[in-house]
Amino acid sequence: MIILISISCKKDSVNSVTHICNPCITDTHSVSHQQAIYITDSNWVGQGLHVQKSDLTELIKEAGATVDQVYALELVDEGMEFQFFPCCMVSYHGGQLSGSVYTTGNEKTCTLTFTETDQVMHNGEFPNRGITPFQSIVVKVWLWK
């Protein structure tokens, strides 16, 4: 019983902050520092058949940053990192993972989208029935500081 409760009470989190400046990247004439935060994300909401979204905005704010500072997102899986924002989507667990940063009014939002591409039916049913084929993912969020 305790095991079931501890699994179901899993919370998204923000871990380790890394400062990098070796060599420093220059955005304009001043030197900018890069910072990376790691977010464990398991809060996916269905957006239609085979599409799930997750909003990282509040977790980024929890880490003391803003969405304005986000310049790249990477999937961290088994010690490897795969960039999927701003350049491209990444194949993951029978689907495509992508990220976006957009403005709504005065607010900027950072979201992830998982689109299931492996849509093979078994006995007339899709295998995941509108849920992600994974419990959580770790995302490395690169920020300008």
> What is the predicted pLDDT for the residue at 132?
79
pLDDT tens-place string over residues 83-132: 999 999 999 998 999 999 999 899 999 999 999 987 665 444 555 556 77
> What is the predicted pLDDT for the residue at 127?
52
Burial of 63 (0-12, 13-18, 19+ CB in 10 A): buried
> What is the predicted pLDDT for the residue at 38?
97
pTM over the 0.85 mark: no
52-59: average pLDDT: 96
Distance CA 115, CA 118 (A): 9
